[in-house]
Amino acid sequence: MSDQVWTIHCDGSAVPNPGRMGLGAVLMSPDGTRYPMSAPAEGRGCNNEAELRALMAALQEARQRGAAALLIHCDNSVVVQQLAGTATEPFLRLAPLFDEARAALLSFASARLVWIPRHRNQEADALARAAVGLPPKSPAPFRR
């Protein structure tokens, strides 16, 4: 079962930005079992750092649960582009953290990180916000 794909949705929150960081993720095993994660991060940082830390916490949890193949969803395009190597400019302040995340991703048999729109990542967002004591965001109003 270790070659079956686990799915991760991860998100981070910084309040204010930069400020306290909250990490949120939902891991789903191949059999559909869900493992939500919500935790404050130590220190203060920006939203991009919170996103990276949420990803790394989710990767650590996935490894502990025996996952070898991952499909990871993230709504932060900066994080996805930096880790995919498609960013036009390096994010120097967080370069060591990006290097750590790249190494963690490479430690799995397969790991694919994809960008998704924010509205498709609401559960991970709510978990990240809860970690810093904030309620979930209200859904965007319908516009014609």
Show me where the domains of the chain are located: 5-131
Q: Which CATH number fits domain 5-131: 3.90.1210.10, 3.30.565.10, 3.30.420.10, 3.40.50.920?
A: 3.30.420.10
Phi/psi zone of residue 32: left (φ > 0), alpha (ψ -120 to 50 degrees), beta? left
d(CA 12, CA 126): 10
What's the pLDDT tens digit per position in 77-116? 999 999 999 998 888 999 999 999 999 999 999 999 999 9
Whether the predicted model's global pTM rises above the 0.85 cut: yes
